[in-house]
Amino acid sequence: MGPTLESMRMPRQTEGDRHRIIVISAIAIGIAFFAALAAEALIALIGLITNLGFYGRLSLAFTSPKDNTLGLAVIAVPILGALIVGVMARYGSPAIRGHGIPEAMERILYNQSRISARVTFLKPLSAAVSIGTGGPFGAEGPIIATGGALGSLIGQLLQITADERKVLLAAGAAAGMAATFGSPVSAILLAVELLVFEYRPRSLIPIALASTVAAAVRMSFHGSAPIFQMPDVLRPSGTALASYVLLGAVVGLASVYITRGVYAIEDAFERLPIHWMWWPALGAVVVGVVGYVAPRTLGVGYDNIEQILSGAVVGYALLALVVLKLVSWSVALGSGTSGGTLAPLFTIGGGLGSLLAAGGMLVFPGFQFDIRVAGLVGMAAMFSGASHALLTSIIFAFETTRQPMGLLPLLGGCSAAYLVSILLMRHSIMTERLARRGAPGPTEYSVDYLRQQLVRDHASTEVMTIRSDETLESALARVSDRSAGQTHNGFPVVDAAGALVGVVTRRDLNDPLGPRNITVGAALKRPPVAIYPDNTLREAADHMVHEKVGRLPVISRKGPPKVIGIITRSDLLEAHQTRLEAAAHAERSIQMPWEDAPVSGSTS
C-alpha cells in the first residue's frame, strides 16, 4: 500500500501565516503607541533646544527660530549644533547621518530589517540637536526613522521572521509619520511605496492599524484640525485643471535637478580632505549665513508651508524663501547631518508652485490659477517627483489640508511630475544613495509572475516512473537507455498501485559504493516530496527551496497520490519566456516618433 497524503511533504499551507497577522498586528499597535509618544517627545526636545539656542529660555513649546534677535551671532548656533551631531555620528553611530528613509530602506533590503538599538536612541537625539539649532529640516524624517528603528528593535527581540520584522519596521515608520502630520492614510501609502514594496494583507493590516493608533494619539494631544490650515478652495475649471497639470510637470522637472543638486553637493563633500565628522559644521556655516539673511529658512518651517498655502507669502518674499531654503537645505543635507527631507521639499515645491502660477497669470491672463491651489499642487508634485511616491504625495496633501476640491488638481499635477521625473531620473532622492553604494532599491512593485502561473500549465506530463520493487541495477539500465529520450535527473518512484512513494536520482542509482541487488524502494532516503497541479509556480519554487530539491512530482489531489507530471527548476525559468516575449513584442510594436525606425526588411 502506498503512502498516505499525510506522510508526504507538500507545500506549506498559508492558514497559519494568516493567523500570524493577528499577532503582528497586536505588536504593531503597541509599537505605534510608543512611536507616537516618541514623536511628541522629539517635538518637545526640538522646542527645548530651539528656545535655549535662539531665545535663551527654558521652554518645551515648539517654536520657530525666525523671530530671534541674535544678529550675527545666529550663525554660531547651527554650527554648534552641527559639531555636536558630527561627534555623535563619529563616536556613536554613523547611521544617524542623513534623513532616515534611505537608511531604513537599506536595512529592509539588505540587512533583514535589523537596525541597532543605538540608532533608535541616537537618531532622534541628533535630529533634535540639528533641527533645534536651526537645521532647515523637517522633524518628520527623524520621527519616521525613529519609529522604524523602534519597530526593528522590537522585532529583533521577538522570535519572528525577517518579513515580519520588516512589517514592524514599516509600521513604526508609518506611525511616526501619522503622529507628526495626522495623516494615517498617506502614512500607510508611504510605507507601501517606499518601504515594504508590497500590497498584501500581512503587511497592510498591521501598518494600517499602527497608523490609526498613532493618529489617535496625536489627536489626543493636538486635536483633529489639519496641520496645514488653508481657506476653502472652489472646484477648478477645465482650463485650471490643464494649468495645474502643466504646473506639476514643471515642478517635476525642478525636482529632478534639485535631487541631482543635492547629490552633487554630497559628492563635493566626499572630496574634501577632512574627516566626515566635520562636514556638518561646514554645511552649518551656510545654514547660519542664510539664516541671518532670511530667518524663515531656519528650522522645520511648517509655518512657512501653511502661509504659502494660504497665500500670505507672495512676490519677492516668496522667491527669496524658495531660493534660500533650497540653498540652505541642500548644502546641509549634502554635508551628511541628521534631518528630514519632507518639509523642505514641501516648502520649496509649494513656493515654486505659487510663483509659477503668479507668473503664468501675468504672461497668460487666460490661465485660471488659484495661487493657493497652485501652492498645494506644487508642494505635492515636488515630493512626487523627488521621491517617486505618487499616491503618498496626493493623499498627504489632501489629509494635511482637508481640501476635497484640491484632489483633482493634485491628481493631475502629481501624475505629471511623476511622469517627468521617471523619464529623466532613474532613481529617486530616496534610492539614489543606495544605488551609489551598489545596492539599488526597488523602483516599483508588481504582482509576482510565478503567483499567476499554475503548475499544471508548465509541468512535463511525459514522466518516466520507476517501480519501487525494481532493483537498482534494472532501474539504472532503464534510465540510461538513450532511446528512451529521458533528460531528467530525478524519477518518481511508485508502488504496485501507481502511488508515489519517493523520488530517486541518477546519482542514487549510480552510486558505486552502494549495494546493487536491493530494490529502489529500499534505497529511498526521505519521504516523498510532491506538489499538486493547481498549486502556483511560486509555491512550487518555495517548496523546492524548503525541501532542497530540484524537481517535484505532480500528483492528483483526489484519490491515491498518482503521478501525473513532474516540474523542475528549468520549467520555472521557462515559465518566464511568455512574459519576456510579450514584453519584447510590445517594445517592437510601439514606435515613438523620436526613435529610429526599424531597418527595412529586418526580421523581428
Mean pLDDT confidence for 58-70 = 88
Mean pLDDT confidence for 217-245 = 89
Highest mean pLDDT range out of 326-335, 431-440, 515-524? 326-335
CA dist 529 and 518 (Å) reads 22
The pLDDT of residue 597 is 47
Residue 211 reports pLDDT greater than 90: yes
SS3 state at 193: helix
CATH number for region 21-222: 1.10.3080.10
The pLDDT of residue 326 is 93
The pLDDT of residue 513 is 62
Residue that wins the pLDDT comparison between 441 and 262 = 262
The pLDDT of residue 141 is 78
Residue 26 reports pLDDT greater than 60: yes
The pLDDT of residue 202 is 87
Burial class (CB in 10 A: 0-12, 13-18, 19+), 312: middle
The pLDDT of residue 528 is 85
Residues of the chain with CATH 3.10.580.10: 450-577
Residue 533 reports pLDDT greater than 60: yes
The pLDDT of residue 278 is 92
Mean pLDDT confidence for 40-60 = 91
The pLDDT of residue 488 is 67
CB atoms within 10 A of CB 88: 22
The pLDDT of residue 27 is 94
Reading the block at residue 482, the C-alpha cell is: 538513450
Residue 214 reports pLDDT greater than 90: yes
- 600: confidence class by pLDDT, cuts 50, 70, 90: very low
Indicate whether this model's pTM tops 0.95: no
For domain 238-436, say whether CATH 2.60.40.1170 is its number. Answer: no
What end-to-end distance do the CA atoms of the chain give, in Å? 55
By C-alpha distance, which of 323, 274, 267, 325 is closest to 301?
Answer: 325
Residue 486 reports pLDDT greater than 70: no
The pLDDT tens digits of the residues spanning 363-413 come to 777 666 788 999 999 999 999 999 888 999 999 999 999 999 999 999 999
CA dist 117 and 134 (Å) reads 27
Residues of the chain with CATH 1.10.3080.10: 21-222, 238-436
Residue that wins the pLDDT comparison between 182 and 508 = 182
- 594: confidence class by pLDDT, cuts 50, 70, 90: very low
Mean pLDDT confidence for 96-110 = 68
Mean pLDDT confidence for 103-110 = 67
The pLDDT of residue 441 is 60
What are the residues facing 502 on neighbouring strands?
493
Return the CA Rg of the chain. 30
CB atoms within 10 A of CB 348: 29
38-52, 97-111, 382-396, 523-537: least confident range: 97-111
DSSP assignment string, 406-425: GHHHHHHHHHHHHHHHHHH-
The pLDDT of residue 281 is 92
Contact 218, 178 (CB under 8 A): yes
CA 542 to chain centre: 24
Report, at the CATH architecture level, how domain 450-577 is classified.
Roll (3.10)
Look up residue 310 and give its amino acid: S
Residue 1 reports pLDDT greater than 60: no
The pLDDT of residue 588 is 65
The pLDDT of residue 391 is 93
State the average pLDDT for the chain.
84
Residue that wins the pLDDT comparison between 181 and 138 = 181
The pLDDT of residue 563 is 87
The pLDDT of residue 439 is 61
The pLDDT of residue 103 is 66
Q: What kind and span of H or E run contains 492? A: strand 490-494
